[in-house]
Amino acid sequence: MNYEKLKAAEANFLQRYPGGFSDPEIAALKKKHNIEKQSEFARQSLARANFNRPEFIAESLVKIVSRSSMVSMFEKPKFRDFIKSLNSHEKQALADAFEKRLYGRQKQRGFEEIFGMLSHHRVAKWPLMSAVPFYFAPDKDAFVKPTTAKGIIAYLEVEGLEYKPTPSWEFYKGFRDLLSEVKKQVVPTLSPNFAALSGFLMVSIGDN
């Protein structure tokens, strides 16, 4: 990673917005995305005790995706139709996969099981794979938007991390690790969550 470009981006962003993401000029953007409210709903509805209620989990997943400002209007109905098409056994399998993805030591296995189900219905896109985990843990899990991910990797000249349109745990972990490293290098006001961190970098890319 090019640390000099990262620090230059940080300086430029803070010159425009001295308060980082607490700056008044960014208040409207924060309100639009409303990540705090979305995260609160995700953590409550996807509490581990609820995973013995697959129908409730399925409905909650639809609500989280449908209310997201970061998932495109084209992908939301496809995800909703995917959930509607599942029978009770499939909804249980999906709930089990998300429980693994969000809790414990089987995150990769959960990721791969979710991918398998979404892929079978041709909706295994990066935003749909990453939205729910991001809202559940926005300071630990990344939201992967293709153009943003590709732009960040290119801008920071990251070696050994190549974006591919087919979701994989290998890329996801690498991109999340990249954002974690960026977070360590910049002031806390630029990283209230991983989506904000990506946003700061995209503004910097747009300025160059």
Q: What is the mean pLDDT of residues 144-149?
A: 94
29 and 41 part of one domain: no
* pLDDT tens string 127-140: 999 999 999 999 99
pLDDT in tens, 159-169: 999 999 999 99
* Residues 118-126, mean pLDDT to the nearest whole number: 95
Answer yes or no: do 41 and 29 share one domain: no
**Which residue range forms the structural domain that includes residue 98?**
37-124
Q: Is residue 120 part of a domain?
A: yes
Q: What is the b/e burial string over 156-187, where b = at least 16 CB atoms within 10 angstroms of the residue's CB?
A: bebeebebeeebeeebbebbbebbeebeeebe
pLDDT score of 105: 83
pLDDT tens, residue by residue, 62-72: 999 999 999 99
> Same domain, yes or no, for 88 and 65?
yes
Per-residue confidence (pLDDT) for residue 30, from 0 to 100: 64
Q: What is the rounded distance in angstroms from the CA atom of residue 191 to the CA atom of residue 17?
A: 13
Mean pLDDT score of the chain, rounded to an integer? 92
Question: Quick one: pLDDT at residue 31?
Answer: 65
Does 89 or 193 have the greater pLDDT score? 89
Q: Are residues 120 and 63 in the same domain?
A: yes
Q: Is residue 62 part of a domain?
A: yes
Q: Are residues 94 and 16 in the same domain?
A: no
Residues 23-29 have a mean pLDDT of 72
